[in-house]
Structure 1
Amino acid sequence: MKKTFQIMGAVAAWFAGLLQFYISMKFADSRAAEAIRFFSFMTIWTNIIIAVYYTVLILSPQTKLGRFFSRPMVQAGLLLYIIIVGLIYHLILANQWNPQGLEFIADQSLHTVVPILYLFYWIFFSEKEKLSYSSALKWLEYPVIYIVYSLIRGAITGKYPYFFVDVTKLGYATTLTNASYVLAAYFVLGLMLVFINNLMTNKEAIDRRVEIEM
């Protein structure tokens, strides 16, 4: 069942990313420029990471990368990242446009289907161990890298991936304030995730002890 779910997750994530890439390229005036723009979104970064995660665990779980992805802290961190992709989209970005047809399918796959599938995978199949609350700080590295990349890219091109970090319209003060709110959300949700993870870890330990005693 675990392997089946990994395959489902991999297919969903690769399908979502490739469909969105196809749509982007189909309507692009400049394919090179559109490809750069396509890979500027946190949604795409995170869905690709999830797709690679599933694929590595299916094909080569014993490799160095496979062992890295098998670490409970990494698996929990991926959950945080993909859930925030879904939350930010549905709470902030979804009302900014109204996709139709293939765009709707790609949109929902990236922001709804892949996050929900990974959530279920993490709950039922991922290995868990007790995590330190400092993990919430460690998990901030990824969004910090993304924000720095977006600001540097925007300073060079004048284009920003999301309206709430658009320096040309908001200025640096408001943009950095918005970025700090996003990082705060990562941190708070990260703390909540550690708490939930540790509760589940304790329950699994109790269940194992009960089975042994019986």
Structure 2
Amino acid sequence: MLARRLTATFVAALCITALAIQLHLAIDRAHPGGHSVGGAILNYFSYFTILTNLAIAALLGATAANASDARIWNRPSANTALAVYIIVVATVYAALLRHLYAPSGIEFLAERTLHLVVPAVFVGYWLILIPKGTLRLKDQLGWLVPPAIFFVWTLVHGALTGFYPYPFLNVAERGYTSVLWSGLLFSAFFLTLGTVLIIVDWLLGSLQNRWSGEVPTA
């Protein structure tokens, strides 16, 4: 419990610090860019990266306060869902987004923290500190709901304001057919990754059961 709470505190602090820096920068650039502060904040919360890191910060903040396995935020399913989301964040960033802009200074640190450091540390947290062996394949159907809501929100928000957080979701440039195909491909990616993590959960759970069942010899 102590190890989980200390790790949760550390990762939550990383998330909150990087998120605060990015929010400050978004607000700071609002007026020079011709945008309102309210619009800048709304756009800030329209990135899957931001929402996923915010969810991780909230979940781990709750864990730091109470690491009991009975609490909903410590359930393997909730933690695995966030592990899936943050791996998608890191993968998409490395494969599709990293080359599109070159931040510097404190923005560079915040960006790398949200896209690379937090994913690595949180996946390690999931592997080592979250109980294994209780997940089911059908769990991942529920995990698809938040990304689906994000996808719909992105299309609606973009249609109303012209803002799209990612190039592959930009209807104005790619058209609805291409964006819908992107949505289907990402759904398949989420399902595949969820299945992989569930299998890892089963394997680690089986190993943990074997170790706990061993009888020490004199």
TM-score of Structure 1 vs Structure 2, range by shorter chain? over 0.9
Check if 1:77 corresponds to 2:81. yes
Counterpart residue type for residue 121 of structure 2 = L
Cα pair 1:17 1:44 within 8 Å, conserved: yes
Q: TM-score normalised to the size of structure 1?
A: 0.94
**Pair 1:170–1:70, CA change in 2 (3 A):** same
Match for 1:23: what amino acid?
L
Q: Which residue of 1 aligns with 2:72?
A: 68
- Kindly report which structure 2 residues correspond to 1:1-214, keeping only aligned pairs within 5 A, or say none: 1-29=3-31, 30-61=36-67, 67-211=71-215
Counterpart residue type for residue 27 of structure 1:
R
Aligned-pair CA distance for 1:62: 5.9
Q: 1:28-87 CA deviation, whole Å, 9 max, x = no partner? A: 212111111101000000000000011111124569xx8111111111111111111111
Single out whichever of 41-50 and 155-164 deviates more from structure 2: 155-164
> Is 1:43–1:111's contact at 8 Å kept on the other side of the alignment?
yes
Deviates more, 1:12-21 or 1:124-133: 124-133
Describe the superposition over 1:80-137 as per-residue Cα deviations: whole angstroms up to 9, x where unpaired.
1111111111111101111111110110010011111101111111122332112222
Secondary structure (helix, strand or coil) at the match of 2:115 reads helix
Question: Partners of 2:6 and 2:73 in 1: how far apart?
Answer: 18
Alpha-carbon contact 2:5-2:65 (below 8 Å) kept = no
Task: Indicate if the aligned counterparts of 2:49 and 2:114 stay in contact, CA closer than 8 A.
Answer: yes
Q: Aligned residues, how many?
A: 212
Change (3 A) 1:5 1:188: same
The change in CA–CA distance for 1:213 and 1:122 in structure 2 (over 3 A counts) is farther
Query: For the structure 1 residues 159 and 5, does the alpha-carbon distance in structure 2 shift closer, same or farther, using more than 3 Å as the test?
Result: same
Instruction: Answer yes or no: is the 8 Å Cα contact 1:131–1:197 preserved in 2.
Output: yes
Stretches of structure 1 that go unaligned for 5 or more consecutive residues are none
- Give the CA deviation at 1:16: 1.2
Deviation at 1:213, TM superposition (A): 7.7
**TM-score normalised by the chain length of structure 2:** 0.92
For residues 60 and 134 of structure 2, the distance between their equivalents in structure 1, rounded to whole angstroms, comes to: 23
What residue identity is the alignment partner of 2:47? Answer: F
Distance 2:132 2:79 in 1: 9
The 8 Å contact of residues 129 and 198 in structure 1, kept in 2 or not, is answered as yes
State the Cα distance separating 1:176 from its structure 2 match: 0.3
Letter in 1 for 2:183: A
Unaligned runs of 5+ in 2: none
